[in-house]
Chains A and B, each alone.
Chain A
Amino acid sequence: MRGDSFLGIPYGWPLVVAIIGLIVVLWMAREPMRRLLWQIFFTTGRVFGRWGLWLGEHGKAARLSCSEKIAAHRAEELIDRMLVLEDRIGKRAVKLPQEAGPIIARLDSSTHQIDRVATSLAEINVEDAAERAFRAALPRMEEGRGLHKIEKNMAQSTARMMQERLAPIRPALSMLKTEAPRVIAASDKLGKIEQRFTQGVDTVNKTFADFEETLRSPDRIKVAGKQSIIIPWLIALLITAIALSGVFLNFFLIERPMAEIVGEGARIGGIGLPTFAAMIVIFLEFVAGVVLMDAAGFTRLIPAFHSMSDGGRRIMFWVAFAFLAAFSFLEATLAIVREQIIENSAETSRLAASLLSPELAATAQAAADQAAAADPSALATEEAPKGLQLATVAQLILAVLIPWLLATAALPLETIIRNTVFMLQIAGGYGLLGLSFICKTFAVALKSIGLFVLAVYDLIIFAPLWVERKIKGTVAGSIDEKPKNPRAEKPQQRDPPDRKKDPDGKKDKDRERELQQAS
């Protein structure tokens, strides 16, 4: 009757006795069991907590170190920018006398003219002039007859005399009319010059402020956060991908004709020798491009160029330029050779297919001789359609251009390498922090599980514990008046998991606190 038993123990009294026996055994083995559970959960949790702490510290340190590097890179970029701005302002300062000199001279001249005119105008007494004019006009007025005529004559005479009197003022007024717009224009020009300078200075000041902040700000992560990493990296990646497509194109152009130079038949690491040689040529072109760009100062990929003199860099630039030109010529030659190889191969296949057919057996010899004697390139030229020739020209153009385009791939390479390193470092830092979080979570989980298991254990042996406490309480009550023996208490103090001796769970709480501190 297997259904009437639990683990081979029949239901009923035998099972009850077995459970009670088990509870008693668990109660008797509570000390070693508690230690064991403690070791399993709390000690392991503490180890994980330590690991979490260690990983967290290293993650933070890694992130800080990376931020420091990014900030240093930002500082370098700002220095470069400031140098460029300084150079620009310097050039503008050199041009300034040429720009502002004529304006100032004209302004000066106009100012003098206006001053002179203003002085002469100030010296004129208009009331006196008017009175004099009127007086001068009176004798003529007196010659007039009749009131109407007198009035008319008076007005005309006064106007004429006033005109005569004011005649010296007119040149001054016209001069003012001429000079005033000039002054305004010169003032505008000066204003624009000042505005441009102010803008330049503001940019320099802002860059310098950024530089100062980059150098001195204690919040390195914030400083590093201002530096854009992913967008330049993506742009550089896009440009490189386009350049790589050019590499593939180049590769297919030169792979076949390379067999004419290095021969066929061998494989290096599973790659055909012409393919390998084509790859090497492309790599060499790329290296020449990197050297060219570094020597020209566009990139800083090769540290040796930093400490090189300008003369040395110029030499390296021209050497790299010469190499690229040579590669360009080589590729152009290979483009022609490629076409010849294809035509030769096609002609050979055609001969193989046409020769020695049963019907043409008699004429096969003549055809073979003719084919062997014929100049392959001449034959190809005769038979090649015009489209093919155009294709050869197109290949030539590509072959000449691609090495130079490949050289430009060195430009984004610096950004890709540098920003990839930054991103990997950032990812590494966050990875460590993530691991730290996982370890700490695991530590807390282990601690909680440990407490739960201990609580369950106490629950299982609750009855014997209660009885024990009652008995010991009675005994303790009877011996309370006896002097305490310190030696007898010592072993109890060395027994941390025993809740009987630590009824409030103080030691457990201490350890828990310790674990929390560790995590």
Chain B
Amino acid sequence: MMRRILPTLAGLLASVSLAACGLVTSTNRSVFVLFDASGTYVKSVPVSARLANLMVAELQPGDWIGASQISSCSFSEKEIVLQQQLPETPSLADQTKRAVFTKLNDYAASVKSTKFTDIHGALAQAAFELRQRPEAARYIVVFSDMIEDHAPKCDTSKVALDLKGITVIAANVIKTNPADPEAYFQTLKDWESTVTEAGGVWALSTSPDQLPKLVTAQ
């Protein structure tokens, strides 16, 4: 009897030990989407929402999705559009994804232009929200022209960002001034350095099919 029990116990112990040693890991990711609602970009929000939908469609069951807008003073709960965890099973996850499509659609249809563009504040809020999540893979997707314009009463440009473990993906970055490509490239370069200095990973999505691949790469 003992001869049978002992191997069973040893097997259980080994299983528990392996689990404790990180045998069981999570593949879920959390994604926070930022939509720029400033005057220069608000017209592109429906297109950005469509790109976001394409990305959401590729998320796996169990992933988490959040969205907020970049407004004049973005570091605020009222700017958050949605926060949704996809169920673990594929069929329920599909239903939830469709609900997310609806919410993003609602937002894109009702988005109002803001006077200023507080990208720093939006990034700080997204990073904060992501840090609350247990998922190991964290992404911030920024739909913006990446041109910051702080309000006098809400200057977050000096706020120290903490983007450790977070990948910041700039998507659908429109070119506001076709006559000055240098400024466009310089803006992207500046943001890359800002993100990497804050401990994050910078990525740029230049085509609609690239964004889902970047987010679901791991």
Contact = CB atoms under 8 A, between A and B. Distances in A.
Given A259-B89, A356-B105, A372-B98, A268 B61 contact: no
Interface stretch (B19-27, B145-153, B157-165, B181-189): B19-27
B102 A265 contact: no
A303 interface: no
A341 B105 contact: no
A492 B49 CA distance: 105
Interface in A368-396: 368-369, 371-372, 376
A199 interface: no
Nearest to B208: A353
A516 B98 CA distance: 87
Nearest to A350: B57
Contacts of B63: 265
Interface in A317-359: 340-341, 344-345, 347-349, 351-353, 355-358
A365 B106 contact: yes
A260 interface: yes
A267 B57 contact: no
Interface string A254-284: 0010011001111111101000000000000
A347 B102 CA distance: 15
Contacts of A72: none
Contacts of B25: 266-267, 270
Nearest to B58: A349
A358 B47 contact: yes
A364 interface: yes
Nearest to A359: B46
B207 interface: no
Given A266-B27, A344-B91, A351-B98, A259 B61 contact: yes
B50 interface: yes
Nearest to A357: B50
A72 B95 CA distance: 64
Contacts of A167: none
Given A352-B56, A355-B105, A356-B105, A269 B89 contact: no
Contacts of B23: 268-269
B108 interface: yes
Contact of A355 (B53, B60, B62, B90): B53
Contacts of B53: 351-353, 355-356
A267 B49 CA distance: 31
B99 interface: yes
A139 to B, nearest CB: 114
B120 interface: no
A372 B97 CA distance: 9
Contacts of A376: 91, 94-95
Nearest to B108: A356
Contacts of B61: 259, 263-265
Contact of A260 (B56, B62, B90, B105): B90
A361 interface: yes
A108 B90 CA distance: 83
Contacts of B49: 356
B14 interface: no
B91 to A, nearest CB: 6
Contact of B104 (A268, A356, A372): A356
B109 A352 contact: no
A265 B27 contact: yes
B97 A260 contact: no
Contact of A361 (B56, B58, B98, B108): B108
A13 to B, nearest CB: 78
Contacts of B101: 351-352, 355-356, 368, 371
B28 A265 contact: yes
Contacts of A349: 54, 57-58
Interface residues of B, number: 37
B88 interface: yes
**Listed residue (A347, A364, A372) with the most chain B CB atoms within 10 angstroms of its CB:** A364
Contacts of A351: 53, 57, 98, 101
Contacts of A356: 46, 49-50, 53, 101, 104-105, 108
A472 B101 CA distance: 114
A361 B45 CA distance: 11
B62 A263 contact: yes
A356 B101 CA distance: 9
Most buried by A among B23, B47, B58, B93: B93
Nearest to A343: B94
Interface in B16-57: 18, 23-28, 46-47, 49-50, 53-54, 56-57
A266 B24 CA distance: 7
B90 A372 contact: no
A265 B62 contact: yes
A398 B93 CA distance: 28
A341 B24 contact: no
Contacts of B60: 264-265
A238 B58 CA distance: 41
Interface string A417-444: 0000000000000000000000000000
Interface in B53-94: 53-54, 56-58, 60-63, 88-91, 93-94
Contact of A365 (B54, B90, B99, B102): B102
Given A268-B24, A355-B101, A365-B105, A344 B54 contact: no
Contacts of B102: 365, 368-369, 372
B89 A260 contact: yes
Contacts of B88: 259, 263-265
24 contacts: A256-B90, A260-B89, A263-B61, A264-B27, A265-B26, A266-B25, A267-B24, A341-B91, A345-B90, A349-B57, A351-B98, A352-B50, A352-B53, A353-B57, A355-B53, A356-B49, A356-B50, A356-B108, A357-B47, A358-B46, A358-B47, A361-B109, A364-B105, A368-B105
Interface of B: 18, 23-28, 46-47, 49-50, 53-54, 56-58, 60-63, 88-91, 93-95, 97-99, 101-102, 104-106, 108-109
Identify the 8 closest CB pairs spanning chains A and B, nearest first: A265-B62, A263-B88, A352-B57, A352-B53, A368-B102, A264-B61, A265-B28, A344-B94
Interface of A: 256, 259-260, 263-270, 272, 340-341, 344-345, 347-349, 351-353, 355-358, 361, 364-365, 368-369, 371-372, 376
Given A352-B53, A356-B108, A365-B105, 7 more contacts: A264-B89, A265-B88, A266-B27, A340-B91, A349-B57, A352-B97, A356-B49
